[in-house]
């Protein structure tokens, strides 16, 4: 741990999932339905083919230790899979060396893939998870766009289960694999295109019902939602893909550790001491050249250690054009046209950041009942008037608001408001001294996120004579540009 890590943690806290979804009492251990046997998942031989990176991490853990991060986006179907309890219970049983599991989610009522693209920008990109899961419905074209966004901005593995059987699907029972609102073959095609792990959840759910002579209803709590045992089946199907298939498809390496020994060739004023580079003077430098959009430093802290200044592509890290917008929060006082309305579900789910960002707070204030609004920045001031149903670029060109990512704008009323902030996601200086009361040892800190996915050079420069010990640098290259 290091002093600057505290400020980095504060920075990341702004991006942690908000409790914008209702609480759920998760139960997935109720017994099988009357007449049904205990469910046993039967993954196909190719199961796990796109989870190689996940398997490596679960089998070997991380050095230094950190959680295995999972982000789930979706609707109430995702919500009712729980809050990661199943993962936290099952993973240690299956993988003795596995790290702890950190599971985060954001869901909306009946939220399709279309709007998840916005949430991904503000939540998933910030956390940079190891695994991304989405369990909902929508147009396969929107799933295609969502997975493309994930592939362009993260190095996460992706897992997509097909939707379970619901009462509305009765006309297709025994006739078609499709749901009334989901073409399964189209999902397979989209997942294969993006190297995403597709879980044949619908097929296996249906097979269980048929083999036990059961209709659709026994695994549902109402007409559409899975009950406790239904959730158990879905989670079991997902976890059954955590396996090693006989053959993996060819794929590029997305995450790479550059050791101190490899860094030594670009170092000046450092000496190689065991597995560490150790500085010997003020102004000692290490250069890291890589392709990707994110970089993390692995160092060793000590009471007598020094500091590093970080430069990215020839400029101080504090000036680098690396920005993220936080989750767009609807005011709790916003209009509710229906009793079941939630500000989360009647809001812009995402914005696009333009060039020349100024870190600041932003407010979208509705000025009419027909979608008109004003955008105001805490530094920039009023930055333009727009309409929720039309594309908008602010006067300063810092913020773009796309109507297709604004959900249920027709329910917004004059006076409703939404807030978010834009923050720089770089660390300009790293202290290798543990915080007061902290222990010395190996630490990890993210130096930059949201770089343009391409070639970059990061320079690490000592600012005093006290030694710093660099063990490695981790670089991350999303597979799409």
Residue-range domain boundaries for the chain: 12-239, 255-322+426-476, 323-424
pLDDT at position 61:
98
Q: What average pLDDT does the segment 255-272 reach?
A: 98
Q: Contact, 391 vs 405, CB < 8 A?
A: no
Question: How many CB atoms within 10 Å of residue 356?
Answer: 9
Topology annotation, domain 255-322+426-476? Jelly Rolls (2.60.120)
Q: What average pLDDT does the segment 392-415 reach?
A: 98
Query: How many Cα atoms occupy the beta-carbon half-sphere of 186 within 13 Å?
Result: 14
- The yes-or-no verdict on residue 107 having pLDDT over 90 is yes
The pLDDT-based confidence of 337 (bands split at 50, 70, 90) is confident
CA 103, CA 17: separation in Å to the nearest integer? 10
The C-alpha R_g of the chain, in whole angstroms, comes to 24
pLDDT at position 21:
44
The sheet carrying 392-393 orders its strands as 352-353, 399-401, 392-393
- The yes-or-no verdict on residue 288 having pLDDT over 80 is yes
The pLDDT-based confidence of 476 (bands split at 50, 70, 90) is very high
Which CATH code for domain 12-239? Answer: 3.40.50.1110
- The yes-or-no verdict on residue 316 having pLDDT over 60 is yes
The percent of residues above 90 in pLDDT, for the chain, comes to: 91
The answer to whether domain 12-239 and domain 255-322+426-476 are alike in fold is no
The pLDDT-based confidence of 24 (bands split at 50, 70, 90) is very low
Question: How many CB atoms within 10 Å of residue 263?
Answer: 20
| Average pLDDT in the chain | 94
Ramachandran angles phi, psi of 283, nearest 5°: 85, 5
Q: What average pLDDT does the segment 8-21 reach?
A: 39
Q: Which residues pair with 406 in a beta bridge?
A: 348
């Amino acid at each position: 741990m290091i002093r600057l890590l505290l400020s980095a943690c504060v920075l990341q806290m702004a991006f942690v999932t908000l409790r914008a979804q209702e609480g759920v009492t998760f139960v997935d251990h109720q017994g099988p339905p009357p007449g049904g046997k205990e469910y046993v998942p039967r993954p196909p031989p190719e199961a796990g083919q796109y989870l190689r990176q996940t398997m490596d991490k679960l089998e070997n853990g991380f050095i230094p230790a950190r959680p295995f991060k999972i982000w789930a986006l979706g609707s109430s179907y995702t919500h009712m899979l729980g809050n990661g309890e199943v993962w936290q219970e099952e993973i240690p049983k299956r993988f003795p060396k596995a790290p702890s599991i950190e599971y985060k989610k954001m869901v909306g009522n009946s939220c399709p893939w279309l709007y998840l693209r916005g949430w991904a920008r503000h939540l998933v990109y910030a956390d940079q998870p190891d695994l991304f899961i989405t369990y909902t419905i929508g147009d396969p074209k929107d799933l295609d766009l969502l997975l493309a966004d994930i592939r362009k901005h993260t190095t996460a593995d992706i897992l997509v289960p097909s939707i379970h059987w619901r009462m509305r699907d009765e006309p297709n029972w025994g006739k078609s694999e499709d749901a009334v609102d989901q073409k399964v073959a189209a999902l397979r095609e989209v997942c294969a295109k993006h190297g995403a792990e597709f879980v044949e959840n619908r097929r296996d759910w249906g097979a269980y019902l048929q083999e036990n002579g059961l209709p659709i209803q026994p695994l549902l709590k109402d007409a559409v939602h899975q009950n406790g045992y239904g959730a158990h089946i879905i989670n079991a199907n997902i976890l059954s893909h955590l396996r090693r298939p006989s053959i993996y498809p060819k794929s590029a390496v997305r995450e790479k550790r550059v050791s101190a020994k490899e860094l030594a060739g670009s170092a000046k004023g450092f000496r190689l001491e065991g597995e560490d580079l150790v500085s010997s003077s003020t102004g000692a430098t290490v250069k890291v050249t890589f392709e990707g959009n994110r970089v993390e430093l692995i160092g060793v802290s000590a009471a007598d250690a020094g500091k590093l200044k970080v430069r990215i592509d020839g400029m101080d890290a504090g000036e680098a054009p690396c920005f993220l917008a936080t989750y767009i929060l609807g005011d709790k006082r916003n209009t509710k046209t229906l009793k079941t309305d939630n500000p989360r579900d009647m809001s812009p789910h995402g914005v696009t950041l333009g060039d020349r960002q100024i870190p600041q707070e932003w407010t979208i204030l509705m000025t009419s009942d027909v979608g008109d609004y004003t955008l105001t920045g805490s530094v920039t001031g009023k930055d333009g008037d727009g309409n929720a149903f039309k594309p908008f670029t602010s006067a300063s060109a810092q913020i773009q608001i796309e109507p297709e990512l604004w959900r249920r704008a027709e329910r917004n009323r004059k006076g409703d408001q939404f807030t978010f902030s834009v923050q720089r996601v770089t660390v300009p200086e790293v202290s290798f001294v543990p915080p007061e009361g902290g222990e010395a040892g190996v630490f990890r800190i993210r130096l930059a996120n949201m770089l343009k996915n391409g070639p970059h050079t990061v320079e690490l420069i000592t600012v005093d004579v006290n030694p710093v010990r660099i063990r490695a640098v981790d670089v991350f290259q999303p597979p799409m540009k």
